[in-house]
Amino acid sequence: MNLVIDVGNTQVKLAIYSKGRLIKKVTDAQKNISARASELILSYPSISAGIISSVGKVNKQQLQRLKKIVPLHILSSRTVLPFKNKYKTPLTLGVDRIALVSASAEKYPDSNVLIIDAGTCVTYDFVNSKNEYLGGAISPGIRTRYKSLNNLTANLPLLETKPPRSIIGNTTASSIHSGVIFGILKELDGVIEEYKNDHQDLTVILTGGDAKFLSKRLKSSIFANSNFLLEGLNYILEFNIK
């Protein structure tokens, strides 16, 4: 059994995998990583290895505690990966994107795949049918767009995410909702269309915290998978302990 830990910008996800199958998943605040990991290992004593991916801030003390709990692989750009990385600045490639591309290499070999991770940022990552990672794009996520309008202007309020009833906003609030939600939906559909112009056999994966909200509103055909990053981390771990 493997312990998989994904530290995001706001939360941490911990999952147990056995023979490639998800057994358990929990979500908590980052400060509780060690306690949660200890609880899982007590509940699943067959856990023999772990991996952690962090785009948030994990301090040295937390890492040391985790290393005492389980043999731990810390994902980085220097990790041996199950794909060919053709990114021109591989040392700057985020570990979250590395994990997503690895999941693609396992789940969709010999395919052209566009992975869209919709969270604090929206990341686009493209892997071709030769198992080559070529790169992608980074864009503001839904909450980042709402917060930016509030932080960078004097009079616009910070609103909770809400689907607009119409593209024409007739109040400040409805105008913000229209701009944010229709803006990101049009962006997603437009990016997917651009990739499909070059790769008609394209497989599109949508994951991340906003995947459920966005998937039912997109015009494009996609596969939604909320656990895609965790699956990629587990595959990387298996790939490195063979």
- 6, 28, 96, 198: the catalytic one is 96
DSSP states of the chain? -EEEEEE-SS-EEEEEEETTEEEEEEEE-GGGHHHHHHHHHHH-TT--EEEEEESS---HHHHHHHHHHS-EEE--TTS--SSEE--SSGGGS-HHHHHHHHHHHHHSTTS-EEEEEESSEEEEEEE-TTSEEEEEEEEE-HHHHHHHHHHSSSSPPP------S-SS-SSHHHHHHIIIIIHHHHHHHHHHHHHHHH-TT-EEEEESTTHHHHHTT-SS--EE-TTHHHHHHHHHHHHHH-
201 as an active site residue: the answer is: no
Tell me the catalytic residues: 96
